[in-house]
Amino acid sequence: MIPAVRRVAEALAATPGAIGILFYGSNLRTGATEGVLDFYVLTAGPPERGIWPTVSYREFDEAGETLRAKIATMRLSTFAKAADAGTLDTTIWTRFVQPCALVWSRDEATTARIAEAIAAAARSAARFAAALGPETGTPRDYWRALFRQTYAAEFRVEKGGREDQIIGFDPDRYDRLLPLAWAADGIAVTAEGEALRPALPPARRAAVLRAWRLRRRAGKPINIARLMRAAFTFDGAARYGAWKIERHTGIAVPLSPWAERHPILAAPGVLWRVWRARQAA
């Protein structure tokens, strides 16, 4: 694990109620610290009601280097339920069938609960991949089909071929994982050369497809609601937005204390200054 990431995780462990911290995303795959580090802070307590997770942005000084982190915070009980496809959400099992690292845990019992949730995410993803993928295909064919469908359902803007980038970081991992996850979920599989054929009985396939249609219809409304909530509750939104603007345009955006407190109200003025700066360049 990247030492700087572990130190950020130790700082995040001070979050009230925190019992476990997961690190995931492109920085985990590449080992880089540039850009934004993605963390999930899992907390104690019963499942949340309403919209989750809570999202924040923080910056940390690491030997003179600024490390940027986007932090999603939610109850472990909610996370585990979503990973097991016990909610209409698709984001948890889609994200956490991908590589992740448990960088801090309160105790061994919590570690075991989080590990089981990650295993449940793999089973959930593999189950939907079996129903959404081809009748017969390579493991990568099934993963591609799954990621395309989930991205389309989630109101995410992803460049074409994003699923190939994800798989391409460690294709052997995905090749090994799929038959193991199917077996753990009670789905028999036969091999035909390099291709696999999952044996989903018609009744179970129909049930999985019905479950998927519910999630596909709910996906965009759920994620729009999350965006609307984040617009008013995203702690650190102004600094995150200013960094994104500078990264993509090269134009530094100074933030007043008022703009930090009211990022939505400040946004038109910020965009006007950026537009003028680009016109003058």
DSSP collapsed to 3 states, 38-99: EEEEEECCCCCCCCCCEEEEEEEEECCEEEEEEEEEEEHHHHHHHHCCCCCCCHHHHHHCCC
pLDDT surpasses 60 at 30: yes
Report pLDDT digits (tens) over 112-127: 999 999 999 999 999 9
Q: Which is more confident, 1 or 170?
A: 170
**What pLDDT is recorded for position 2?**
82
Tell me the domain boundaries of the chain.
3-235, 236-281
Answer for the pair 89, 123: CB distance below 8 angstroms, yes or no: no
Look at domain 3-235 and name its CATH class.
Answer: alpha beta
Q: Name the nearest CA neighbour of 216 among 157, 148, 135.
A: 148
Average pLDDT over residues 45-64: 89
Distance (Å) of CA 86 to CA 36, 89, 117, 228, 252: 29, 8, 12, 24, 44
Residue 133 DSSP symbol? S
pLDDT surpasses 60 at 52: yes
Inter-residue long-range contacts of 237-243, CB under 8 Å, 24+ positions, other chains counted: 237/57, 237/263, 238/263, 238/266, 239/57, 239/59, 240/36, 240/57, 240/68, 240/70, 241/267, 241/270, 242/270, 243/68
pLDDT surpasses 80 at 59: yes
**What pLDDT is recorded for position 10?**
95
**What pLDDT is recorded for position 65?**
86
pTM of the model: 0.85
Residues above pLDDT 70, as percent of the chain: 81
